[in-house]
Structure 1
């Protein structure tokens, strides 16, 4: 389960899509960039393969809720 999820626009003009995010999972901090098409680029250590798909799904759900369903 993701904890302490945070995100912010990567552009000064916050109307442009693109966000940086961070969260903790299993006591490890992860960071990345969330693109408008839902693609994720990790800017920290890449999660283990068995967790990466699940984490991407959770991030996508959080971004849909916080950004697109305001």
Structure 2
């Protein structure tokens, strides 16, 4: 389960979509850039079970950003 999920706009003017994300998963901290098309570019190490984590991140972004 993802814990301490946070996101911030990538651009100051907030007119361009894109967000920085960070969270903990199994006691490891992960950071990345969530682009407007849902692509995640990891700025930290890539998680071992990346596809499963991507699904969880997409759900959180849909709930927090696109709701």
Q: Normalization by structure 1: what TM-score?
A: 0.92
Post-superposition shift, 1:28?
0.6
Structure 2 equivalent of residue 42 of structure 1: 42
Residue ranges of structure 2 left out of the alignment (5+ in a row): none
Q: Higher helix fraction: Structure 1 or Structure 2?
A: 1
Which residue pairs with 1:13 in the alignment?
13
Structure 1: 4+ residue segments shifted above 6 A: none
Q: CA offsets, 1:7-52, max 9 Å, x none?
A: 000101112200000000110100000001000000001001xx11
Give ranges in structure 1 of 5+ residues lacking alignment: none
User: How many equivalent pairs are there?
Assistant: 67
Q: Which residue of 2 aligns with 1:32?
A: 32
